[in-house]
A and B are shown apart, each in its own frame.
Chain A
């Protein structure tokens, strides 16, 4: 038991040592220079990046959750099968291809990037909303109907609280992918921190590479962590107990 725990700790410490070494190395080699020297440009690119992610993500949330709710209503049962399958299929398409397709149809610019990211974010949230609502025990719903809850009350009081964890997980997945894909938006003229990464690649300039890549990575990890916490906070206590 003790040795097992010790091995686990050693692996963890090794990982963090690598991370620390990496940061020490980049700082020693002055690789964050572009951020310091051109802070204005950095905040501009970061701002663009966040705006692309925020707008496309928010739109995706606002559309896919109601859509997921709609599709799981009784009268839409037939369309559910198709939508779930389409969401599955859509997520198989690589992100670069989605961006390229958006550019092919909408031309170059931030708008095309936002549209592409919006469509791409839609799918995991939609999928998780449907799965979350469907995972509610059928007997629970039956009991709710039997004691006289209206369909709307069942949705608000039973289905959504029970699906909350799954829906937030969908948002989490969507946003993390979204942040990464937004780094490619530069390719179709959408701006964002990808600008520095691709400049770095083109010019073989490690400083630009690191100054673009590290903030994007931190942004993704931060958002991921935030929603991980939200997932725990927003899930009703009774359901957390149920999982155990």
Chain B
């Protein structure tokens, strides 16, 4: 299904960008402030307006309509929740735990992989969940710029004045969002290291 593909791909890419970036930001709080500020401004841009801004830009390389603008928009929107939660999650690891890890002679990288990321995992997962649910919604709107997906059902229903089609589209998208949300909440609990 186009919708799931679009959202899934965007989330994977977002995680690949956002988590390392979030980790890196913990080494420079000034940069963290700037980056988080920038992404929260981007987050404020309404999705249809972001499409509206991106289409003219991307049309200069012949990709104005379709998958690419939708994909870029989804990745941009995902950055704030993922980066912020990674950054906060790692920053909030108990300093005592970090000290203990240092005391055991772990290198910075070992500490990150063995101690900090596992402890920040619940928050990172929550960020990914927020981003995913958001993307399902934005993905539906992306149908209007030719990215396909469940939004097309609503789109066509409206233009044909077919109420049933509109309702089916709306309900299916909602159920998709709710199910994914619940599923990710479940994983969040499952993958939280015992004892946190």
Residues of A within 8 A of B (CB): 4-5, 7-9, 11-12, 15, 22, 26, 31, 89, 92-98, 100-101, 103-104, 176, 179-181, 183-184, 187-188, 194, 197-198, 200-201, 204, 206, 209-210, 212-214, 216-217, 220-221, 224
Decide yes or no whether B34 CB sits under 8 A from chain A.
Answer: yes
Q: A4-B28, A94-B137, A100-B167 are in contact. Are A214 and B49 (CB under 8 A)?
A: yes
Interface residues on B, range: 35 or more
Distance of A200 Cα from B54 Cα, bound (Å): 12
> B28, B33, B55: which contacts A206 (Cβ < 8 A)?
B55
How near does chain B come to A219, taking the closest CB pair, in angstroms? Answer: 9
Distance of A200 Cα from B51 Cα, bound (Å): 11
Chain A residues touching B, majority SS: helix
Residues of chain B lying within 8 A (CB to CB) of residue A188: 158
B59 near A104 with CB under 8 A, answer no
Distance of A198 Cα from B48 Cα, bound (Å): 9
Distance of A67 Cα from B12 Cα, bound (Å): 39
Distance of A89 Cα from B4 Cα, bound (Å): 20
B44 near A11 with CB under 8 A, answer no
A89 near B178 with CB under 8 A, answer yes
Residue of A26, A104, A201, A212 with highest tally of chain B CB at under 10 A: A104
A5 near B30 with CB under 8 A, answer yes
B64 near A92 with CB under 8 A, answer no
> A97, A176, A180, A221: which contacts B48 (Cβ < 8 A)?
A180
Distance of A209 Cα from B50 Cα, bound (Å): 10
> A8, A194, A198: which contacts B33 (Cβ < 8 A)?
A8
> B48, B140, B158: which contacts A103 (Cβ < 8 A)?
B158
The residues in B between 127 and 169 inclusive whose CB is less than 8 angstroms from any CB of A are 133, 136-138, 140-141, 144-145, 151, 154, 157-158, 163, 166-167, 169
B45 near A200 with CB under 8 A, answer no
A interface footprint on B45-72 (CB within 8 Å = 1, 0 otherwise): 1111111110111010000110000000
B177 near A93 with CB under 8 A, answer yes
Instruction: Please give me the 7 A-B residue pairs with the lowest Cβ-Cβ distance, nearest first.
Output: A180-B46, A213-B52, A94-B137, A8-B30, A100-B170, A206-B56, A213-B49
How near does chain B come to A193, taking the closest CB pair, in angstroms? Answer: 8
5 further A-B contacts with Cβ under 8 Å, apart from A216-B48, A220-B45, are: A96-B137, A100-B166, A100-B169, A103-B158, A206-B56
Residues of chain A lying within 8 A (CB to CB) of residue B33: 8
- A6's nearest neighbour on chain B, judged by CB, is B30
Decide yes or no whether B108 CB sits under 8 A from chain A.
Answer: no
Residues of chain B lying within 8 A (CB to CB) of residue A12: 34, 37-38
A180 near B34 with CB under 8 A, answer no
Residue of A31, A206, A214 with highest tally of chain B CB at under 10 A: A206
> A98, A101, A224: which contacts B44 (Cβ < 8 A)?
A224
Decide yes or no whether B115 CB sits under 8 A from chain A.
Answer: no
How near does chain B come to A4, taking the closest CB pair, in angstroms? Answer: 5
- B180's nearest neighbour on chain A, judged by CB, is A92
Q: What are 22 A-to-B residue pairs whose CB atoms are below 8 Å?
A: A11-B31, A11-B35, A12-B38, A22-B57, A92-B178, A94-B136, A95-B141, A96-B141, A97-B173, A100-B166, A101-B167, A180-B47, A197-B48, A197-B49, A197-B51, A201-B52, A201-B55, A204-B59, A206-B59, A209-B52, A209-B55, A217-B50
